[in-house]
Structure 1
Amino acid sequence: MSKVSVLVVDDAPFIRDLVKKALRGHFPGIRIEDAVNGRKAQQMLTRERFDLILCDWEMPEMSGLELLTWCRAQDALKALPFIMVTSRGDKENVVQAIQSGVSDFIGKPFSNEQLTSKVRKALGRAGKLDALAASAPVRNMATGMANDSLAALTGGKAEVVRPLRHQPQ
Structure 2
Amino acid sequence: MAIRVLVVDEAAFVRDSLKRALRKFMADVDVFDAINGGRAIAVLKANKIDLLLTDWDLPETSGADLIQWVRKIDRYEKLPIILVSSDTDRNMLQAAAELKVNDFLSKPFSPDDVQKKVVKQLARIGCMPKQRPGSGMGGVSSGLEALTGRVKPVVQKPRKVMEANFGGAAKRPRKPPVRGGLAESARQPLGCLAELNFSGFQLRCQVSDVNLQTLTGVVPRTDNIPALYAQVNVDVQTAKSEPIASLRGFVQGVQAGDPRPDSKQVRISLRFLESSPEDLELLSNFLAR
The TM tier, using the shorter chain, reads 0.7 to 0.9
1:82/1:104 contact within 8 Å kept:
yes
Cross-structure match for 1:28? 27
Give, in whole Å, the separation in 2 of the partners of 1:102 and 1:26.
23
Instruction: State the distance in 2 between where 1:151 and 1:26 align.
Output: 20
Aligned identity (percent) is: 36
Task: Report the CA distance between 1:163 and its aligned residue.
Answer: 7.6
Q: Is the 8 A contact 1:68 1:100 kept in 2?
A: yes
2:54 and 2:133 map into 1 onto residues whose CA distance is 25
Higher Rg: 2
In the alignment, which residue of structure 1 is the partner of 2:49? 50
Structure 1 distance, partners of 2:216, 2:28, is 30
Q: Distance in 1 between matches of 2:50 and 2:211?
A: 28
Q: Are 1:138 and 2:137 an aligned pair?
A: no
- How big is each residue's C-alpha offset from its partner over 1:82-119, in whole Å with a ceiling of 9 and x where there is no partner? 11101121211111000011011101111111111000
Mapping 1:35-114, distance limit 5 Å: 35-114=34-113
Q: Any idea what SS the aligned residue of 1:152 has?
A: coil
Instruction: Give the corresponding residue for 1:167.
Output: none
* Contact 1:9–1:34 (CA under 8 A) maintained in structure 2: yes
- Larger helix proportion, structure 1 or 2? 1
Are 1:152 and 2:212 an aligned pair?
yes
Report deviation, 1:141. 3.5
CA contact (8 A) 1:106 1:115 kept: yes
Contact 1:27 1:137 in 2 (8 A): no
Give the structure with the higher percent strand: 2
- Structure-2 change in CA distance of 1:158 and 1:6 (3 Å): farther
Q: Distance in 2 between matches of 1:92 and 1:98?
A: 10
Partner of 1:147: none
Q: Distance in 1 between matches of 2:22 and 2:216?
A: 21
SS of structure 1 residue aligned to 2:71: helix
Cα-to-partner distance string for 1:113-163 (whole Å, 9 max, x where unaligned): 11110000000001101xx0x243213638x9xxxxx93355xx3698248
Aligned length, in residue pairs: 153
> In structure 1, what is the equivalent of residue 143 of structure 2?
none
Deviations 1:53-90 (A, max 9, x none): 00011111111111011101111111100111011212
Distance verdict in 2 for CA 1:25–1:43, change over 3 Å: same
Give the whole-Å Cα distance in 2 for the aligned partners of 1:103 and 1:26.
21
Structure 1: 5+ residue stretches without partners: 145-149, 165-169
Specify whether residues 158 and 42 from structure 1 end up closer, same or farther in structure 2 by C-alpha distance, changes over 3 A only.
farther
SS of equivalent to 1:15:
helix
1:19 aligned partner, one-letter code? L
TM-score (norm 2): 0.49
* 8 Å CA contact 1:11, 1:60 repeated in 2: yes
Which protein has greater RCO, CA pairs closer than 8 Å, 6+ apart? 1
Root-mean-square deviation (CA), in Å?
2.5
Instruction: Give the structure 1 partner of residue 11 of structure 2.
Output: 12
- What's the TM-score, normalizing by structure 1? 0.82
Structure 1 residue 161 and structure 2 residue 252: aligned?
Answer: yes
Q: Report SS of the residue matched to 2:212.
A: helix
